[in-house]
Amino acid sequence: MAKITYIEHGGTEHVVDVPNGLTVMEGARDNGIPGIEADCGGACACSTCHVYVHPDWVEKLPAKDPMEEDMLDFAYEPSAERSRLTCQLKVTDDLEGLVVQMPEKQI
């Protein structure tokens, strides 16, 4: 289990424990956190679970695969360095303390 901090665009923080094996997107969905829509249900077929990863975490996460890179092209104001799709981030103990911030909107 990992404690993950989700920060809404307006600054409201939600700190939740997410079980190992789920994705960061599922942690947001299961805890009713606004700002992550996840329209495709986690199939990496949209960009509505887009977040900006805190700079301290950019190098600690697994690399983006080509499909995630492609989908991020459709995200709202993506950052080449910090943008990730939360459906592609599998929760393990290594994600303890992860901080992600939602964009102004999902598209």
**What pLDDT was estimated at residue 20?**
98
pLDDT class for 25, splitting at 50, 70, 90?
very high
pLDDT tens string 38-54: 999 999 999 999 999 99
- Quote the pTM value: 0.96
**What pLDDT was estimated at residue 40?**
96
58: left (phi > 0), else alpha (psi -120 to 50), else beta? alpha
Report the percentage of the chain scoring pLDDT > 90.
100
Count up the domains in the chain and report the number. Answer: 1
CATH number of the domain bearing residue 88: 3.10.20.30
Domain span at 17: 2-101
**What pLDDT was estimated at residue 98?**
98
Residue 88 · residue 95 · CB < 8 Å: no
40: left (phi > 0), else alpha (psi -120 to 50), else beta? alpha
Residue 107 located in a structural domain:
no
